[in-house]
Amino acid sequence: MLLLKNIEWVIQDATAMKKNCDILIDGNRIAEIGGSLTVEKSHEVEVIDCSGLIAVPGFVNSHTHLYQCLLRGIRDDLPLEPWCQEVTLPFYSKVRKLERVGDISRIAYIWSALASIEAIRSGTTCIFDNDYISNGVMEAWADSGMRGVMAIGFADQGLSPELTEETGYTKATILKTIKKWHNPNSRITCAIMPPTPYLCSKDALTWMKNVAEDYGLVIQTHLSETRSEAKTMLEAFGEPGAMYLDRLGLLGPRFSAVHCVHLLPGEAELLAERGVSMVYNPKSNMKLGSGVAPIRKFVDLGINIALATDGPASNDLLDMFEEMRAAALIQKAVCENPAALTARTAFHMATAGGAKVCGIDSGTLVKGKLADIVLLSQRTSNITPFNDPVETIVYCAKESNVRTVIIDGQIVMRDGVIHTIDEVHALDEAQRLWSEMVAGTEPPFMEARKLPSSE
């Protein structure tokens, strides 16, 4: 058991909070929240004094591409399609080429470890990743203590041959990965992710839908990120993308649509009717000049909205504090209405909204929920005085406020020190890997192995 004593504030969700209380964790669940909690002497319990700290639900990053951790700070002057051609696809192609002649688990492990460290330090306790199917990503989550959802799928049309694999091989790999890693009772689960509808044949989409149903997985896809994408789908399908997906039976409460910046008339209403969630990526959409998603409309329709950073190459961070601020401020500006998106709505998107998208029982601090908890220091200049708790966290808090992170009931960072893997070694490994790949030499093919513990 773990007893968090003397917490200054417990932010249970976007609207409920308690002052001066304790949290008792039993296993991986919150057992009790209240004042002056005690535990019978017969139970082993670790007590942590949390004086001056604020407890919040761990943030959920509901859509990202972790391999892009190696592609930060490149080209901020290109829209999506040419940006993909010049920034992400060359690297993606190189990794695919390496994968055909060896095991890329070590490469994937390094970028996943790097991402996990950044996420933990900025208060994120769950990541929804997609693109590469590699054991290395999940091995790094297992070692770092991160909660992760590995979204896997495939495109079978519209891409150059070096970016695709034979369909039968890809399907077998997807099923093998799900059987190896998906465990609803663990920190690591799987999801299905068709990259975008127009890159998938009808047969491919139907196969992925059936796999999601067979294994009880959530489904996610990119939808109408740009005007050209919306136009491409309309021309290819003879109807808007959401209507096409619905006709194939994909839309439902376990489905989430990423971006939704340029939905065509009737699409938002259909998503709401089907109980689909939407994933909002404000900073990425701004950097690529894709536009601003009509979040106020989605809120008014009752759509569940989650928040995400998208990939580090188009953000260029995995920082959910920044994402909450950007989410609220850009909506206020484009709507010319300061009430268009409040701090409480942004906080909900980053916590409970994201937990729903990921299919995990977290996102709020209440009895019985998974113990994914972040402890923030209240005694810093940027959040002093501490007025409205949620507004102060959304508009003022930052990575430096994060002191301790608990995921699945386990302490992964305490007093600013990550205890699961060696952070300095991970940074060195990531820099070395990138230098080797830039120089054109092939990195050694090694099975994913643990980075040294920091303890």
| Sequence-ordered alpha helix ranges (H) in 1-156 | 80-83, 89-101, 105-121, 135-144
Indicate the helix (H) or strand (E) that contains 437.
helix 423-439
Q: Is the pTM of this model over 0.85?
A: yes
Query: What's the number of CA atoms in the CB half-sphere (13 Å) around residue 32?
Result: 13
Write out the two tokens for 88.
């992400």
H or E element, residue 29: strand 29-34
CA distances from 38 to 25, 59, 106, 311, 369 (A): 12, 28, 45, 43, 20
Largest separation between any pair of C-alpha atoms in the chain: 69
Please state which CATH number belongs to domain 65-358.
3.20.20.140
pLDDT the model gives residue 94: 85
pLDDT for the residue numbered 39: 87
10-residue mean pLDDT series, the chain (455 residues): 97 97 98 92 90 98 96 93 92 83 88 97 97 90 98 91 82 96 97 96 97 98 97 97 98 98 98 98 98 98 98 97 98 98 98 98 98 97 96 98 98 97 94 74 40 56
Closest listed residue to residue 112, CA positions, set 90, 129, 87, 91: 129
DSSP β-ladder status, 417-418 and 147-152:
unpaired
How is 185-206 classified by DSSP, letter by letter?
TSSEEEEE--S-GGGS-HHHHH
β-strands 17-26, 219-223 pairing: unpaired
Q: What is the pLDDT of residue 455?
A: 54
Q: What is the rounded distance in angstroms from the CA atom of residue 303 to the CA atom of residue 82? A: 31
Work out whether strand 410-414 and strand 417-418 pair parallel, antiparallel, or are unpaired. antiparallel
Domains of the chain by residue range: 65-358
